Amino acid sequence: MSKGTINKAILVGRLGQDPDIRYSANGVAVAKFSLATNDSVPGAGGEGNREERTEWHRIVVFGKTAEFCGNYLSKGRLVYVEGSIRTNQWEDAQGQKRYTTEIVARDIQLLGSGDGQGQAQGQGAGAAAGAQNRMRNSGAAGRSAVEELPANTGAPDDDIPF
């Protein structure tokens, strides 16, 4: 870590779809999924009205934690995600520079029950309770896989209902 700088993201949200699990050329598991977080913002008209705003985040996970995500996470599941922010740059077919920002997760915690209903952490998280309830990526495997994988060039799917 460079002196005086921090790249850390902490999110609590619901999965927009089941994780997509793939393997890199050297056999490292890679999971990708979208995570929705909600925020209450002042609404139109000013009279104390508030509106819910949903923000979608791209999450990528490597190694054993990616396999954990494939086994225990599903659309609508409430999770805690901790990691760092990474921006990828590429050129599209027309030569335009494009950017994608994602969270490279190092820590995933299941919150609530498997059916998407919120529940206090540690109260009946099902088969994933206990030691499986909190997973961290191994440093070396996560870093090498990040450098070897190509950037995700797909557009975000912002209209996922749940």
pLDDT in tens, 78-136: 999 999 999 999 899 999 999 999 999 999 999 986 554 443 333 333 334 443 445 55
**SS3 sequence of the chain:** CCCCCCCCEEEEEEECCCCEEEECCCCCEEEEEEEEEEEEEECCCCCCCEEEEEEEEEEEEEHHHHHHHHHHCCCCCEEEEEEEEEEEEEECCCCCEEEEEEEEEEEEEEECCCCCCCCCCCCCCHHHCHHHHEEECCHHHHHHHHHHCCCCCCCCCCCCCC
d(CA 134, CA 7): 21
- In CATH, what number is assigned to the domain containing residue 24? 2.40.50.140
The domain in which residue 70 lies consists of: 9-40+49-148
**Does 27 reside within a domain?**
yes
**Does 20 reside within a domain?**
yes
**Does 4 reside within a domain?**
no
**Does 23 reside within a domain?**
yes
**pLDDT tier for residue 49 given thresholds of 50, 70 and 90:** confident
**Does 67 reside within a domain?**
yes
What pLDDT score does 67 carry?
95
Cβ-contact 37, 57 below 8 angstroms: yes
**Does 135 reside within a domain?**
yes
**Does 154 reside within a domain?**
no
Share the mean pLDDT of the chain.
78
**Does 161 reside within a domain?**
no
pTM equals 0.68
Say how many domains are in the chain.
1
Cβ-contact 87, 13 below 8 angstroms: no
